[in-house]
Chains A and B, each alone.
Chain A
Amino acid sequence: MSSNIITDDQFQHIAKLSKLTIKPEELFIRDQLSQAAGYVDILKELDTKAIEPTYQVNHKKNVSRDDVVLPSLTQEESLSQAQKTSNGYFSTSATIQK
């Protein structure tokens, strides 16, 4: 098993995509990810050229409900667990800089 399948740069990039902060003492996770990525290589032993993927075992597709309004959480209930709200809305950090 190779320990460098995932490079340092890739590791930092994945952390950013995942919106996770990796502490200096957690950098060893990179090697563990490489090990796992190395382990799953055994799937190459199986020929799947003519095989269709199974994304979900009971093969349900596009399940929809009737377009009817049903009772749901109130605005108060919806906001009750947020640490910060503003004028009856969730409050987020700015995504666009001025």
Chain B
Amino acid sequence: MSDLNKLDLKQARTGLLSKKFSALDLVTDCLKQIKNNASKLNSFVTVTQDSALKEAQIADISKPLGGIPIAVKDNFCTKGIRTTASSKVLDNYIGQYDATVIERLKSAGAIIIGKTNLDAWAHGSSTESSDYGPTKNPWNINHLPGGSSGGSAAAIAADESIVSIGSETAGSIRQPASWCGVVGFKPTYGRVSRYGVIAMKSSTDSPGPICKTVDDAAAILEIISGNDPHDATSIGEPPWKIPKTRTDLKGLKIGLPLAYFPKEIQPEVKESILLAAEVYKKLGAEIIELPDVLDPKYSIAVYTILQRSEVSSNLARFDGIRYGNDRSLFGQEAKRRIMLGTYSLSAGYYDAYYTKAQKVRTLICQDFDKQFQKVDVILGPVSPTTALKVGATEGQSMFGELQDMLMEPSSIAGLPGISIPCGFDNQGLPIGLQIIAPQKREDLVYQTAKLFESTTDYHLQSPQL
């Protein structure tokens, strides 16, 4: 068999268990695909070829992820493997322990094939601010993959891995998944441990899977979720379990927030989401317009203040004394964010900026509570546009915030959400829809997404590389 890298997780597991091919065959095909596309896509910062091949030879396929290649965003600490966060500050840093997510994936038998590119320190929505060069979108290499988990999303779209891991602070899983035409599942804040993930905005950082199908993403979430004493904000629940799939969505109320269709939205994106709403109607769901959702522009402002503030604190530890290089190697984006955060936290400005933003966060949470009294889940576009061109971030100091405006409210409120493919624009670039549910209701997210995927074939399309 050839092109085993094109398999999804379910197919790869079936093939391994029925001995149609070995873990070594699977890993070898993924590594070959990475090598063939390295200069074109630049999805990986580090490829762990030697250790992956070694592990494949002794893989225990009886484990839930036995022999499955996984691409890991390079902001997860990995023991013995370089972990850079795509910043030259950590260019020479070799992880001394595994993040909880990595520990769980390894225990389940997964094989790390490499560390994927991201916006340096996960600051951005393009992967263009990586100190290791931008990743390109596999659907059109003149376009960006989105970010910050752009390397993971591109690696999945380009079949360089079977599954991947990303992290989201406000869109960093869902937006690149949308731009690359794959599935990105952002769990409830605290469902998946942050221990060992290079901290960005600790009060919303949420690790999660980026995969080829909804089932694959759910299977990875089962493995990485669950309480972790190392993360004080862990929600203290046992590992999440995939609920039963439904054959229809009778009785489900889906909200369509009018504020999620801003005037700048690309017409094809709007059209695709409205078409998706029609699909859901046919599946038995009731579509309810939500006319009074809090304008996402306030979330952009809240996110800007809180993210910068937490970044200025979290990045203070990088002093080049215990590990890594000194602060002179921070790029402009990191400098901008650290300084704005330092400003908003400093004496005289703290209440006007930081406290005010935390109060508006309360309003955002209350607004979702109000909307979820009327509907079970919310449906909307992930991004107002499809993948923008390489270079689009130049001179745009608020690029990420504006790109992520439709995901910032749910991230700030810690809600689970998913991005799944729902169409293509006239340039052939993928369009993604998102489904958002109340805290801890990943079951609703899964069931709603899964049934759309089963009814459509957008997820089966692949880019021509």
| A interface with B by C-beta (< 8 Å) | 6, 10-11, 14-15, 17-22, 26, 29, 32-33, 35-37, 39-46, 48, 51-58, 60, 63, 65, 73, 77-78, 80-84, 90-92
Contacts and interface: CB of A to CB of B under 8 A. Distances in A.
Contacts of A92: 321
**Chain A, interface SS category:** loop
B373 interface: no
A58 B189 contact: yes
5 contacts: A19-B319, A26-B335, A51-B363, A53-B359, A57-B413
A90 to B, nearest CB: 6
Contact of A82 (B312, B321, B340, B361): B321
A89 to B, nearest CB: 11
Given A20-B330, A40-B305, A33 B203 contact: no
Contacts of B439: 57-58
The size bracket of the interface on B is 35 or more
A31 B391 CA distance: 21
Given A57-B203, A81-B324, A90-B321, A26 B332 contact: yes
Interface of B: 92-94, 96-97, 189-190, 203-204, 229, 232-233, 235, 297-298, 300-302, 304-305, 308, 312, 316, 319-325, 327-328, 330, 332, 335-336, 338-340, 342-344, 346, 353, 355-363, 365, 397-398, 412-414, 439
A83 B339 contact: no
A20 B331 CA distance: 11
**Chain B, interface SS category:** helix
A52 B359 contact: yes
Contacts of A26: 332, 335
Contact of B359 (A10, A51, A65, A84): A51
B232 A14 contact: no
Contacts, number: 146
Contacts of A91: 321
A5 B315 CA distance: 24
A54 B325 CA distance: 35
Given A18-B338, A78-B96, A57 B414 contact: yes
A11 B346 CA distance: 12
A51 B357 CA distance: 11
B397 A35 contact: yes
A28 B302 CA distance: 24
A69 to B, nearest CB: 14
B296 to A, nearest CB: 12
A19 B359 contact: no
B96 A77 contact: yes
B184 to A, nearest CB: 20
A3 to B, nearest CB: 12
A39 to B, nearest CB: 6
A6 B312 CA distance: 17
B363 A81 contact: no
A91 B361 CA distance: 42
A51 B298 CA distance: 16
